[in-house]
Structure 1
Amino acid sequence: MDGVTLIEIHGKRPRIHDSAFIAPGCRLIGDIEIGPDVSIWYNCVLRADVNFMTIGARTNIQDGSVCHVDSPRPGTPEGHPLIIGEDVLIGHMAMVHGCTLADRSFVGLGAIIMDGCAIDSEGMLAAGAMLTPGRRIGPRELWGGRPAKLMRQLTDAEIAGNAMGVAHYVENGRAHRAAISRESAP
């Protein structure tokens, strides 16, 4: 993984499935587990220095996003790990912090999701939205705004479009990995 920074801290090091694509410029720190066919795009920072982070199969985290965890403290003795399910789409420049994203959920471009939040399966936080601490987006709900509020239910076509986006990013990750390998070859 040329151009990727992997840092061990507190005896924990990122564990990355062989089929995952981690783009050059990414920084992965600490207790992170990355599943099969995941793609982490250019210049993302994933920092699991004070809690753990898991990223399920076929999930993609797009360019410039920041993912972090929350440490234990009074009132939250376990802190807030970052748990990202399978087939999740996270848009460019998103900020994802100490929350749970269920399988097939979606975080839009430039959105912020804060500690203790959850997005249920097929739920979506719109581009530019901010989900404040402890909020939950239900299945197939679209939330938007700052602070985010329920806007409407997602349509079957939108859910299908998100599934197509997941498949696209798996294939695109493979293409980028191959292109980078060709460029690095002597």
Structure 2
Amino acid sequence: MPCYSIDDVVPVIHPTAHVHPTAVLIGDVIIGPGCYVGPCAALRGDFGRIVLAEGANVQDTCVIHGFPDDDTVVEENGHIGHGAVLHGCTIRRDVLVGMNAVVMDQAEIGEAAIVAACAFVPAGMKVPPRSLAAGMPAKVRRTLSDAEIAWKLEGTRVYQDLTRRCLASLREVPPLAAVEADRPRVKHVEVKSLIETRRGG
């Protein structure tokens, strides 16, 4: 993967983490055990430090950056959805940041909270633990149910399993010219949608 030092500071990737070959890491980036970093993610530790703690995932096209001397931290089991932007913020353990959400400088997302897809969390906002923040700008909408928190944790476990699958079997190959007669499918994963979870399905 493209991995660059700056000012002689080199990114760190734990051997049990998976960073996709198209992701870009620059400078003061620390990827912890069991983490997943998806295709085309950009983690720029050229000003402040970026830390992904154990079991966190940062999905496709996410951008993580920060101001000088500020850390951007995703704690254990943090789950950062496709296209999200984190800038100089703190994401506490077991948090879900939804797809295309933006979390700005010195914002803090409390443990087991969810930031809805496309939400904009302004600088300095504190989202309480176990709550849902949504909107532009984001507002705290309500407390999350136990079922919603369990759903989030199950989704994170799926990404932790994906890390192991990638380490074991992901490789670059040329495409086939035609579909095989008995084409296999990728490993089946049982995951309920959030809608099913809310309905008790």
Q: Same fold (TM over 0.5)?
A: yes
- Aligned counterparts of 2:173 and 2:8: Cα–Cα separation in 1: 33
User: 2:85 is matched with which residue?
Assistant: 95
Question: What RMSD, in angstroms, separates the aligned Cα atoms of the two structures?
Answer: 1.3
User: 2:41 is matched with which residue?
Assistant: 44
> Which of the residues 53, 57, 62 maps onto 1:56?
53
User: 1:109 is matched with which residue?
Assistant: 99
User: 2:160 is matched with which residue?
Assistant: 170
Compute the TM-score of the two structures, normalised by the length of structure 1: 0.90
- Aligned counterparts of 1:108 and 1:56: Cα–Cα separation in 2: 18
Q: Equivalent residues in 2 for 1:1-20 (5 A)?
A: 4-20=1-17
User: 1:25 is matched with which residue?
Assistant: 22
Deviations 1:163-184 (A, max 9, x none): 1111100111221233324749
Amino acid at match of 2:11: P
Amino acid at match of 1:145: G
> Which of the residues 109, 117, 129 maps onto 1:119?
109
- Aligned counterparts of 2:50 and 2:172: Cα–Cα separation in 1: 31
Q: Which runs of 5+ in 1 are unaligned?
A: 72-78
- Aligned counterparts of 1:149 and 1:157: Cα–Cα separation in 2: 21
Compute the TM-score of the two structures, normalised by the length of structure 2: 0.83
Aligned length: 174
User: 1:86 is matched with which residue?
Assistant: 76
Amino acid at match of 1:63: D
Q: Equivalent residues in 2 for 1:120-159 (5 A)?
A: 120-159=110-149
Deviations 1:89-112 (A, max 9, x none): 100000010001111111000000
Identity %: 33
- Aligned counterparts of 1:15 and 1:152: Cα–Cα separation in 2: 37
Residue 81 (structure 1) shift: 1.3
Q: Which runs of 5+ in 2 are unaligned?
A: 175-201
Residue 122 (structure 1) shift: 0.5
Alpha-carbon distance change, 158 to 49 in structure 1, aligned in 2, over 3 angstroms: same
